[in-house]
Every structure is written in structure tokens, then in C-alpha cells.
Amino acid sequence: MLALVKTDPGPGLELREVPMPVVGINDVLIRVHKTGICGTDLHIESWDPWAARTIAPPLVVGHEFVGEIAEVGANVAGFAPGDLVSGEGHVVCGRCRHCLAGRRELCARSIGLGVGRDGAFAEYVVLPMSNVWSHWRGVNEEVAAIFDPFGNAVHTALAFPVLGEDVLVSGAGPIGLMATAVARHAGARHVVVSEPNAYRRSLAIKMGATLAIDPRERALPDVFDELDMVEGFDIALEMSGVPAALQAAIAAMAHGGGVAILGIPTEEIALDVNAIVFKMLTLRGIYGREMYETWYKMTVMLQSGLDITPAITHRFGFREYEAAFAAARSGDSGKVVMDWTS
């Protein structure tokens, strides 16, 4: 089969023939239809310091996908060839305290699809059946392809109850964009998006943001009067990984607020602990998705009218992967999807 492979330590990816993945007795083999490009894939492609210490080539990259089941292992029940599925990209150990208690998202030994094991930028991918999510008939396949980052957005946006609250979203990358729509769908009063990139600010408005501001031009407290906000934000979703964004969010929180942190910074961040203490804030780190409550919530929110399609802005065939990666890297894009069926 053809796959996008990190062949050696160093920049670049290669589209090449690789052996079909081996299907174990508990595994499901999936013919990939569509994939989404994630920031993680860009890190692996460019071979940054994180990739250099994390990735052991050769590796098939990619973890956001939708496809059709081609074959199931001897032990597999509940899945059949032809089913349309996506995969949870964190393969957990199944044996630790948290896994045994059913809190699989807290597993400290999880292995990432396309990071620690061969991934989904390929014609076929294999996953344990416990990592496979069945879609309903009629799901939009492009949306299904990005359930993994959509799940990051849902898990973060629902980390604190947003109904009636004023929500700040810092960073309107694909995940911040989807979180904006989720917060809106879940009943937030105002969703203010802070994002320096103008293309992404205009997408944020399409996703339902009340306001989209450029943090270089406008400080957060500057919007309070305009939006009838008394004290500050009730909830902040940190989706940029940028130190100044987290610091500005904490400074703009109301008493008792919640800050859900998804963005991954590349450096340590100094925080105003006095503000955290005296405003009695809750800071919560978010990694991945809840298995599988987040997947359930994604499904039912789509079925009840949530629309995340404006966050998908670019489409390529897999042979045009270089152009696809360039579009994702440019910043003037939302989610970039590659098709593996042509």
C-alpha cells in the first residue's frame, strides 16, 4: 500500500510503498478515505526538537482519519467490513489504575497513532477494536475525518459548563474554531475569539463568535463594555500555546472562572498566581478526548445541528501532500483534509 512515511531522522516525508499492516486478533483493518492534517504532523514533517526526541523512524504519520472497515480480527465483535469508522488516536495500556477504572483518557502509558505506532496517512491503518468509533449513516465524511481534533475542541469547550457564560477562546486554529462553534451550540452568551491572523478571525465569526479581536491591537478588557460584561470572562479556552495569551486570559477572568488549557507551549510560562488565588480560578489541563464520552457528545451535537464545516477550508488528493502540508503550515487555513480514495 502507499503511505506517507518519515523515513529518516530529519525534515521531510516520503510517499512510498510499505507492507500492509498486520491485523491482530483484536484489531480492525480500515481502508482510509480521508485524513486531516494536525499540527503534530507538521512538527514531525519539519523534524523540530519535539519530533527529534519523540519519533523513531521509519514511521507512517497521521492520526486524523475516516475510513471503511476492510477486515476484522478473529476476536472482534460489533464491527464488520463496510462500517464507516474513525479511530481514537490514543492507544491506552488497558492495565493501569485509570484504564481499569474506565478513565482511559488518564492512562500515562498511551501510545499515539502516527507518533508511537504507524498511523493513518496511508491506504490502510490498523487499530485495536477498543479504539474504533462507528459513525452513523449519512455523516459528512470530511467532518468524520476530523473527529480527533473536533474531540479536542469538544473536550476543552465542555470542561466547564458554558450555558449562559461569557467565553474567551485564545487562538483560532482549527481547534479554536471548532471550540467556538461548540461553545455557541452549548449555550454560551458571548464567545470572544482572540487571534492575530485576519483570515482565521473571519473564520471565527463564521463559526459563531460574538467578536473576533486581534490581541496586538485590542486588550481583552476593552471588549467588556461593548458586550455588557461586568467583571470578565467566566470561562477561557487556551488554544494557542502562546504564553502571552494565557497570561492575558488569566488577567481578564471573572472571580470563580475556569481556564481550560489545551494549547501546548514550547517554553515555560510565568503565571500571576496572585490573580489565580484571589480570583479563585480553576485551571485545568486538557489532553486528548474522553473515551468515549467526548465521541458521544460530538455525535449528538452534530445530530442536533452543530455545524463545524466552515472550519474545513482546504482539500487535496494524497499525492498532493506537499501542497496540503504547505496550506496547513501557512496559517491562512482552517483544517486541511486529504483524500486517499482517488
Catalytic residues, by residue number, are: 40, 43
Q: Is 172 in the site for ligand NAD (CB under 6 A)?
A: yes
170 contributes a contact to ligand NAD by CB under 6 A: yes
Of residues 173, 232, 258, 310, which one binds ligand NAD by CB under 6 A? 173
Applying CB under 6 A, among 86, 194, 299, 313 the residue interacting with ligand NAD is: 194
**In the stretch 288-307, what mask flags binding to ligand NAD with x, by CB under 6 A?**
x-------------------
Kindly identify the residues of this chain, within the stretch 69-98, that bind Zn ion according to CB under 5 A.
92-93, 96
Which of positions 96-125 make contact with ligand NAD (CB under 6 A)? none
Tell whether residue 242 is a contact of ligand NAD (CB under 6 A): yes
Measure the CA angle with vertex 310, ends 309 and 315; round to 5°: 75
- Tell me the β-bridge partners of 132: 87
Return the percent helix, strand and coil in the chain, to nearest 5.
Answer: 30, 25, 40
Residue carrying C-alpha cell 451550540:
185
Is there a contact between 288 and 264 (Cβ–Cβ < 8 Å)?
no
Does 239 help bind ligand NAD (rule: CB under 6 A)?
Answer: yes
Q: Does 308 bind ligand NAD (CB under 6 A)?
A: no
Q: State the cell numbers at 264.
A: 501546548
- Using CB atoms within 10 A of its CB, is residue 292 exposed (0-12), middle (13-18) or buried (19+)? middle
Cα angle, residue 250 at apex, residues 43 and 38 outer, rounded to 5°: 20
Under the binding rule (CB under 6 A), the answer on residue 310 touching ligand NAD is no
Min CB(26)–ligand NAD separation in Å: 25
> For residue 157, how many C-alpha atoms fall within 13 Å in the half-sphere facing its CB?
28
Q: Which does 99 bind (CB under 5 to 8 A by kind): ligand NAD, Zn ion, none?
A: Zn ion
Between 195 and 290, CB nearer to ligand NAD: 195
User: Is the bond into 292 cis (omega within 30 degrees of 0)?
Assistant: yes
**Residue 35 near ligand NAD by CB under 6 A:** no
Q: Which residue is nearest to Zn ion (CB)?
A: 107
Q: Does 262 bind ligand NAD (CB under 6 A)?
A: yes
Q: Which of 279, 290, 289, 174 is nearest to 236 (CA)?
A: 279
- Which residues in the 103-162 window bind Zn ion by CB under 5 A? 107
Per-residue buried b or exposed e for 236-261, using 16+ beta carbons within 10 Å of the residue's own CB: bbbbbbbbebbebbbebbbeebbbbb
By CB under 6 A, name the binding residues for ligand NAD: 39, 152, 170-176, 194-197, 200, 215, 239-242, 244-245, 262-264, 286-288, 331
By CB under 5 A, name the binding residues for Zn ion: 92-93, 96, 99, 107
